[in-house]
Chains A and B, each alone.
Chain A
Amino acid sequence: MAEPKNISAGELQEILHVIRVNYGYDFCNYSHASIKRRILHCMNKGNIGSTYDLKYHLTNDPLFFAWFLQSVTVNVTEMFRDPLFFKELRTNVLDKLAAYPLIKIWHAGCSTGEEAYSMAILLFEHGLLDRAKIYATDLNPANLEKARKGIMPLVNMKEHTQNYIQSGGRNDFSAYYTARYENAIMRKDFRESIVFSQHNLVTDQVFNEFQLICCRNVLIYFNKELQNQVLNLFYNSMAPLTYLALGTKESLLASEIRSKFITVSATNKIFRRKD
């Protein structure tokens, strides 16, 4: 098989155009280096030798597109990733959220839900879960279906447990899930505290107002222009004096809206909206 080695800028535009026109997903302002790498990865995995063939399959085969969408997007996540971030939430943010009668939290780009479940655990441990609603959204329906079930491979739980302990968790982590064969299923009250639904940060609008928005390691896949657009969407989805959390290597500093936020934690990338 001829393995495709590279995609030119022109070919990339054409591929993204075919996707947008046929399926409405707009990847045009994704960061080129990584979307190119993801597309090449799909072509290799799917035995597709040329961008011409790729466009042909994308245009004519919706089932192929479903597979393509699943492999082109990054669906890697873990519970309590960057434990120090969660520790900071415990010590500096949750007590502020506790002042609200109804706490609304948005996990934007939630993938298979691991961070949303981590948040449910955090809220539970601080006695806030019954008056909190977690909205977790992703563009990929297959991810959401997995996330809703709250089922994770049991092999990952060892690492999740270590992260949990590092995040300041003191409880028996295994009490939060039931192990069954190769899988762990999250507790029912955690599953019921999260609403999983489809939302595309590129094309969809504000849908609610939140006290905390977590969007960690999603903006890294966007170019600057799209990052600014999405940060504005977040700003408009936040009540005054509420919180925005980004990934540890993402920043507001270069964005248009930086002056509308103060930095709560520079290392853990927690920001607070001014009024």
Chain B
Amino acid sequence: MTEVLAIGGSAGSLPVITGILDALPTGFNYAVIIVLHRLKNVFSEMDKVLVNYRTDLKIKEPEDKEPVRKHHIYLAPQNYHLLVEEEKTFSLDYSELVNHSRPSIDVTFDSLAQAYGPLVTCILLSGANRDGAAGLSKVIDRGGIGIVQDPETAEYTSMPLAAIQLNKKITIQTPEEIVNYIRTVNMRKK
């Protein structure tokens, strides 16, 4: 069972993320957490952009210490790192940039690995730096599922490539395969 599906993306990842959100089954029974590299101190309506075509979905930027709920989609706020506590609540953090990024995908993936162990699935998409690679590797080491976008299909390859280099147990999938996978999360065994 997956309790959290987390998606990390940077340059070139937006089409894949909207594809994933489109494929989410109506009654998905886990939390979705999206960490996207974004500009800070600039007004953003990314939450609306992401669910343009799904009127049944709402994306929320979590407030500090808000509980992580199933069937909710969260977007890491601009200019904060997003962490999850062991008691399954969000914590925000305004410390130094990690991999030139805040939010950093590594920070979120790392805390999910610690809080959820095998009950988390993380997907790392296209991007031009190496944020997310170390976090994804920790998720896998703690029994979670780590998927990376096939670099052949990524607009920017360095983020997926860094992750593949770091951990041999990573699953490499094209955007189509990722979407098919999303359709089956938590569906196999009941």
| With known contacts A83-B41, A220-B94, A33–B65 Cβ distance under 8 A | no
| With known contacts A250-B64, A251-B63, A34–B93 Cβ distance under 8 A | yes
Q: How far is it, in angstroms, between the C-alpha of A83 and the C-alpha of B78 when the chains are bound?
A: 14
Is the C-beta of A99 less than 8 angstroms from some C-beta in chain B?
no
Query: Chain A residues with Cβ under 8 A from B86's Cβ?
Result: 9, 32-33
Q: B77 and A249: CB pair below 8 A?
A: yes
Is the C-beta of A74 less than 8 angstroms from some C-beta in chain B?
yes
Is the C-beta of A178 less than 8 angstroms from some C-beta in chain B?
no
- Closest B residue to A80 using CB positions: B41
Q: How far is it, in angstroms, between the C-alpha of A223 and the C-alpha of B85 when the chains are bound?
A: 10
Interface 0/1 of A29-52, CB less than 8 Å to B: 001111011100000000000000
- Closest-CB distance, B94 to chain A (whole angstroms): 5
Q: How far is it, in angstroms, between the C-alpha of A227 and the C-alpha of B94 when the chains are bound?
A: 17
- Closest-CB distance, B84 to chain A (whole angstroms): 7
Which of A34, A251, A254 is close to B95, meaning CB atoms less than 8 Å apart? A34
Interface 0/1 of B91-128, CB less than 8 Å to A: 11111100000000001001100110000000000000
Q: How far is it, in angstroms, between the C-alpha of A37 and the C-alpha of B107 when the chains are bound?
A: 9
Of the A-B pairs whose beta carbons lie under 8 Å apart in the complex, a sample of 9, sorted by A's number, is A5-B138, A37-B83, A37-B93, A220-B64, A220-B93, A223-B65, A249-B62, A250-B63, A254-B65
Other than the given A33-B83, A220-B80, 14 more pairs (CB < 8 A) read A6-B114, A31-B85, A31-B91, A32-B85, A33-B86, A33-B91, A37-B93, A76-B96, A217-B92, A217-B94, A220-B92, A249-B61, A249-B92, A253-B63
